[in-house]
Structure 1
Amino acid sequence: MLGRLSSEPFLDMATYSFDVVSDFDRQELVNALDQVRRDVGQRYDLKDSNTEIELTESEVLITTASDMTLQAVEDVLRAKATKRNLSLKIFDFQTPEAVGGSRVKQVVRLRKGLSQEIAKKLSKSVRDELKKVTVAIQGESLRITGKNKDDLQAAIQLVKSKEDDLEVPLQFENYR
């Protein structure tokens, strides 16, 4: 009986997907740095330290009077970032360097995006443990696709369990 159509309606095999990214809310970072500047200007132990905090596209530059005041400014930065729900993993503190007189400069790189190494590690982990989902590295993110939402939920839980071993924070976007 060639050509006979099934009485079953065509079932669309929908696929679902989400992206694993590493990002942060830049406006929250700007707000946190504003609060740090205000705190530094008001604290008696930091008031006269002539501390400068500058935000560029990919890093925060802190210039201050001494190693001791630098440590205090870093502590304030961590506290303000935490209060604004920014992961401390976005900060990559470099070695402080002397910049003349007794002043020191600290470069704090901002981590954003998944490196190829981290993306490959996560991809392999998901592929090894979950056979019903597919993983694709797309630039600085991972796209995980599956036919079943429960499989994607399992993938999210698996990726979350691996996050503690990574030096970057992870978020899940475009869940559909």
Structure 2
Amino acid sequence: MPSFDIVSEVDEQEVANALNQARKEITNRFDLKGSGAELDYERPTLHLRANDAFKLSVIREILLGKLARRNVSLKNLDIKAPAVSSTGRASQEIVVRQGLDSDVARLVIHAVRELALKVQAQIQGDHVRVTGKNRDDLQRVIAALRAKEFPRALSFRNLRD
């Protein structure tokens, strides 16, 4: 019986490449020299630090721009509020989300059921598996889900018979 998986994945290598590009730009920018700007990546969290909140916001925009250019969906990022210490030093965390959480998986299953096709969708861990007898129905499901908006970026893998 044909099936495919609906997943929400972020390519870790692309995140690392974007982080390296952002570090290079920060070291070369005149307005950020000597700002104490730091970017660290401890999976799954990106840590941003700077001497003040304004420079932190500049660093964040540089990083988000580099991630977007490397086709890392910003929907999969959980951006925490910046924290400013009493000395003025600012820090922020950005969590890179992998997999579908149960709320998003339920939204996906509901969207598949609304199509009224002869397919079944079920949650299997951090992804949703869709099975059906007709491969054309599965391709219609993929097209319909690509057209809809979800809180996480969806990708499709393992379309097999």
Please tell me the TM-score bracket, short chain as reference.
over 0.9
* Partner in structure 2 of residue 152 of structure 1: 138
Residue identity matched to 1:123? I
Contact persistence 1:16–1:148 (CA under 8 A)? yes
Q: CA RMSD in A?
A: 1.2
Contact persistence 2:104–2:151 (CA under 8 A)? no
Residue 98 (1) aligns with residue 84 (2): yes
Structure (1 or 2) with the larger CA radius of gyration:
1
How far apart, CA to CA, are the structure 1 residues paired with 2:33 and 2:151?
33
* Partner in structure 2 of residue 116 of structure 1: 102
Moved over 6 A (4+): none
How far apart, CA to CA, are the structure 2 residues paired with 1:111 and 1:49?
29
How far apart, CA to CA, are the structure 1 residues paired with 2:37 and 2:151?
28
Residue identity matched to 1:148? N
5 Å matches for 1:29-48? 29-48=15-34
Relative to the length of structure 2, the TM-score reads: 0.94
SS of residue in 2 equivalent to 1:174: strand
Post-superposition CA distance 1:76-114 (Å, at most 9, x none): 111111221111112211110023521101011111111
* Partner in structure 1 of residue 154 of structure 2: 170
Answer 1 or 2: which has greater strand percent.
Answer: 2
Identity %: 36
How far apart, CA to CA, are the structure 2 residues paired with 1:71 and 1:47?
15
* Partner in structure 2 of residue 80 of structure 1: 66
Count of residues paired in the alignment? 160
SS of residue in 2 equivalent to 1:86: coil
* Partner in structure 1 of residue 75 of structure 2: 89
How far apart, CA to CA, are the structure 2 residues paired with 1:54 and 1:173?
30
SS of residue in 2 equivalent to 1:92: strand
Relative to the length of structure 1, the TM-score reads: 0.86
SS of residue in 2 equivalent to 1:61: strand
Contact persistence 1:41–1:47 (CA under 8 A)? yes
How far apart, CA to CA, are the structure 1 residues paired with 2:144 and 2:123?
17
Contact persistence 1:18–1:144 (CA under 8 A)? yes
Contact persistence 2:8–2:152 (CA under 8 A)? yes
How far apart, CA to CA, are the structure 2 residues paired with 1:36 and 1:19?
33
Structure 2 unaligned blocks of 5 or more: none
